[in-house]
Amino acid sequence: MTSSYQKLQGKVAIITGGASGIGEATACLFVEHGASVVIADVQDTKGIETASKLGLHLATYMHCDVSSELDVENLIAFTIQTYGKLDIMFNNAGVWGKVIAQDVRDMDVEDFNYVMSTNVRGMALGIKHASKAMVEANIKGSIICNASISSILGDLDLPLAYTVSKHAILGLVRATASQLGKFGIRVNCVSPGAVHTPLLSSYIHELSSSTCMPSTKASQYSLLKPVDIAKAVFFLASDDSTAMNGTNLVLDEGYSSMRVAM
């Protein structure tokens, strides 16, 4: 691959939840286009394997629980110490939750807090500390958050806490894009439909074990591949998207636009 085609040549990126699924696919694409990548995850074995596959001179793994501010601070500090700067932050880590609750009357508050601490608090911490590093170094960086089609819909038979968290991510992106735009830092998000990832597989497994399996509307259209989402994240990370800030890029094969209300 020629350097003219490597649109992220010389860039340094962090990808949370980068050990598998969308994060792994994005890490592969970033490295392919010349970026150095820090893969952050709690799946240590898988994360180390992914970094090794990409090449340890191009990718590094670091354990990080995004709900912990200390972990996120250490992640940013490690990246700058190792590579000298931070250009791209992909806040990708997220969870379904441990309880499948389709009705607010069945909501488990502890599980709700668990989901929000990872999906919303984790994203907020990533934006906070990545943007601080970028502003201090006068880097006009790109911050991307992984939301979901659930950020614009509320009737997909998905866990309540998950849907609420994804709506919150959209608000977080819009608010921080407004604040950070004056520094030349762009904050955008991608909202995938159903993607063939370990996260979705685990949810489907939980549903199949449930005595009250819902008629998941999201199953009515084909699954996307992780690389489909990675390509959109790559676009938002590159200079090709310099005019985009505060954008929610929906990637669902038109499902949310064309679906018929039931």
Q: Which of 63, 51, 1, 52 is nearest to 27 (CA)?
A: 51
- Strand, coil or helix: 221: coil
For residue 210, how many other CB atoms are within 10 A of its CB? 11
Place of tokens 């992220």: 8
* Contact indicator for 91, 66 with CB cutoff of 8 Å: yes
162 belongs to the catalytic site: yes
Helix axes 226-237, 21-32, angle to 10 degrees: 50
Active-site hit among 162, 203, 221, 255: 162
Q: How far apart are CA 30 and CA 11, in angstroms?
A: 9
Which residues are catalytic, by number?
A: 162
